[in-house]
Amino acid sequence: MGEIQNTVVTHTGKMSFEVLQNDHTIKLDAAVEGGGEGAGMRPKALILSALAGCTAMDIVSLLNKMKIPFSNFVVKVDGELTEEHPKFYHKVALVYFIHLENETDIDKMEKVVHLSQEKYCGVSEMVRKFAQLEFKIEYV
């Protein structure tokens, strides 16, 4: 049997909730037009955050193992929702922004991104179950 992870979500008022996971908390809240105060992250958007975080951690780990010097690493994710309920992301686009110290490491960076997307990032695999997932790298 695989590892079991636990998350507890507690209502804190109006449309606000506190999420507790492994002794860490985040706040969820709906937009004002949805009855909330807009004072927290949105649940669906957390999927995009999880995707960016998962693949970013893979890439930093792999670049460090390969001793590839880099800086200014940012992952941007855009998700397009369907128009009908239940609304879900049907298109997701990842853009990796990175500065590599050596241009000769570009091929290695391409390999690292593909390893993350095709082998290591479980969130990418989950997202592919319901959305078209695209990615590209921009060198800064």
123 & 61 share domain: yes
Integer Cα distance of 47 and 36 in angstroms: 20
Confidence of residue 1 (pLDDT cuts 50, 70, 90): confident
In which domain, by residue range, is 86 found? 43-139
97 & 122 share domain: yes
In single-letter form, the type of residue at position 70 comes to: F
36 & 66 share domain: no
Q: Which residues contact 23 (CB under 8 A, 6 or more apart)?
A: none
pLDDT in tens, 27-69: 999 999 999 999 999 999 999 999 999 999 999 999 999 999 9
94 & 135 share domain: yes
37 & 47 share domain: no
93 & 122 share domain: yes
pTM of the model: 0.94
Instruction: Name the residue with tokens 């004072």.
Output: 39
pLDDT in tens, 9-22: 999 999 999 999 99
Decide: residue 58, CB within 10 A, 0-12 exposed, 13-18 middle, 19+ buried.
Answer: buried
CA distance between the termini of the chain:
43
133 & 72 share domain: yes
Distance of CA 76 to the CA centre of its chain: 8
Integer Cα distance of 55 and 71 in angstroms: 16
Angle between helix axes 106-115 and 43-65 (nearest 10 degrees) is 130
110 & 129 share domain: yes
50 & 20 share domain: no
18 & 69 share domain: no
Q: Where residue 68 sits, what CATH number does that domain have?
A: 3.30.300.20
71 & 19 share domain: no
Number of domains present in the structure of the chain: 2
37 & 50 share domain: no
